[in-house]
Amino acid sequence: MSEIALTVQSLQKSFKDQQVLHDVSFNVRKGEITALLGPNGAGKSTTIRSIMGILYPDHGTIKFHGEKEGQIPKHKIGYLPEERGLYKNVKIMDILLYFAELKDYPQKKAKERALSYLKKFGLEGKDKVSIEELSKGMGQKVQFIASIIHEPELLILDEPFSGLDPVSQEVFKEEIRELARNGTAILLSAHQMNLVEEMADRLIMIHKGREVISGTMDEVKREYASFKCTIHGQNDENKLKTIPYVTRVEQQDNVSVLFLDQNLKAAEWIRKLPSDIQIEEFRLDRISLHEIFIDVASDRTLAAEEEEKYA
């Protein structure tokens, strides 16, 4: 297992009387992409801002390994906040060099890196234009370059894909992967579950400030990746609920979605289906991270559903 770069332990934070973080704990490892997931208002940005020392947690510890207790090695961290922008009326190269200077990164090296990244992101020759002259997507690429210009050991990306077109998403995804391959510890928060599923090595999902799912991508998939069966046809919902391994049924018109227990052996289950079920169309899929996310976001956690079923 790769070396831990950052440990967040029992983080708690309240705004006014409302507690927005309850005991959030996780690790970010070198060379790995850790995804911090959750619906809007779950506490992702609060967690990230606490790590960056922009907010102070009420309780809990944030430890940067290899650093003294309580010290944030700001020059080793790259940060792309959710709410981001760049100075207008200033040349892009000047902005990038300023951010590199703030991180104590050599100017000459920063300039070389800036030029090579601008080229990589299709912004060659734009180093002397101001941000106003660029499109929103181009601006986001510059912001991304600004966050990695100083070769950070830990890269924190808060919603890096928001507002990007699919082509740019792909470029970012590839770059983030490459940074991880080169040993950078990456923590990213995102809404795009398909991208997270493709990229992340590890994930932690929080909802209303509480950790609901965490582990490596494989662990999470193993734990939550049960099947769902979609049947087109006129069927009685209550009857479908009596079929073994069915944990929940969602029915709309003549389409029924059967959520199945994760211990299911698919072939055997299909063979044992009641013969009087009307089947015009039949599909068996894995539950995706996206559905888990939706479930969590709409407060229908799987556990809650199970409780409901066996109550």
Partner 1 sequence: MRNSLKVARWEFKRNVKNKSFIISLLLTPVLFILFATLPTLLSGSGDDAEPVNVSVSDPSGIWAEQIEPYLSNADLNWEISVVTASPDEWRDGLDEDESAVYLALDEAALRDGQITYYTTEETPDSFAGEVQLLAAPLQQLNLQNAGLSEEQMAAVTNGIQFNAEELSDSEQAAADSGLNELARIIPGAFAGLILFSIVMTGMMIFQSASQEKKEKVSEIVLSSLTPSDLMQGKIIGYFWLGMLQVGVWLLIALPFVIWRFNDFPIMEYLFVPELALLIVIALIGYLLFAALFVGLGATVEDISSTSNFQGMIMMLPFSPLILIGPILSDPNGLAAQVGTYIPFTSPAVLIMRLSLLEEWPWVEIGIALAILVLSVWLVMKLAGKIFEVGILLYGKNASMGEIMKWVRS
| 87 forms part of the interface with partner 1 (CB under 8 A) | yes
| 86 forms part of the interface with partner 1 (CB under 8 A) | yes
| 83 forms part of the interface with partner 1 (CB under 8 A) | yes
User: Could you identify the residue written with the tokens 């479908």?
Assistant: 240
Least distance between partner 1 and beta carbon 218 (Å): 32
x-marked contacts with partner 1 along 32-51 as a string, rule CB under 8 A: -----------------x--
Do strands 154-158 and 185-189 pair parallel, antiparallel, or not at all (unpaired)? parallel
Span interacting with partner 1, options 1-9, 91-99, 183-191, 193-201, rule CB under 8 A: 91-99
Q: Which of 6, 13, 57, 99 binds partner 1 (CB under 8 A)?
A: 99
Span interacting with partner 1, options 62-70, 100-108, 185-193, 201-209, rule CB under 8 A: 100-108
Q: Which of 89, 135, 263, 275 binds partner 1 (CB under 8 A)?
A: 89
Query: What is the rounded CA–CA span in Å between residue 167 and residue 49?
Result: 29
Q: Which of 59, 75, 241, 300 binds partner 1 (CB under 8 A)?
A: 75
| 265 forms part of the interface with partner 1 (CB under 8 A) | no
- Three-state DSSP class for residue 20: strand
| 286 forms part of the interface with partner 1 (CB under 8 A) | no
Least distance between partner 1 and beta carbon 12 (Å): 18
> CA angle 34-40-42, nearest 5°?
65
Q: Which of 3, 23, 67, 94 binds partner 1 (CB under 8 A)?
A: 94
Q: Which token pair is 166?
A: 């699919």
- Closer CB to partner 1, 158 or 295, in the complex: 158
- Closer CB to partner 1, 76 or 126, in the complex: 76
Give start and end residues of each alpha helix (H) in the chain. 44-51, 92-102, 107-120, 136-148, 166-181, 193-199, 217-224, 237-241, 266-271, 289-297, 302-310
Query: What is the rounded CA–CA span in Å between residue 34 and residue 188?
Result: 6
Torsion of CA 81, 129, 98, 120, to 10 degrees: 70
Q: Which of 54, 266, 279, 304 binds partner 1 (CB under 8 A)?
A: 54
Span interacting with partner 1, options 140-148, 185-193, 211-219, 288-296, rule CB under 8 A: 140-148
> CA angle 121-98-6, nearest 5°?
75
Q: How many residues does the chain have?
A: 311
Task: Name the burial class of residue 85, with classes exposed (0-12), middle (13-18) and buried (19+) by CB atoms within 10 angstroms of its CB.
Answer: exposed
Query: What is the rounded CA–CA span in Å between residue 56 and residue 150?
Result: 25
Least distance between partner 1 and beta carbon 19 (Å): 18
Q: Could you tell me the strand order of the sheet in which 227-232 lies?
A: 246-252, 255-260, 227-232, 281-286
- Closer CB to partner 1, 96 or 193, in the complex: 96
Binding residues for partner 1 (CB under 8 A):
49, 52, 54, 74-75, 77, 79-81, 83-90, 94, 98-99, 101-103, 143, 146-147
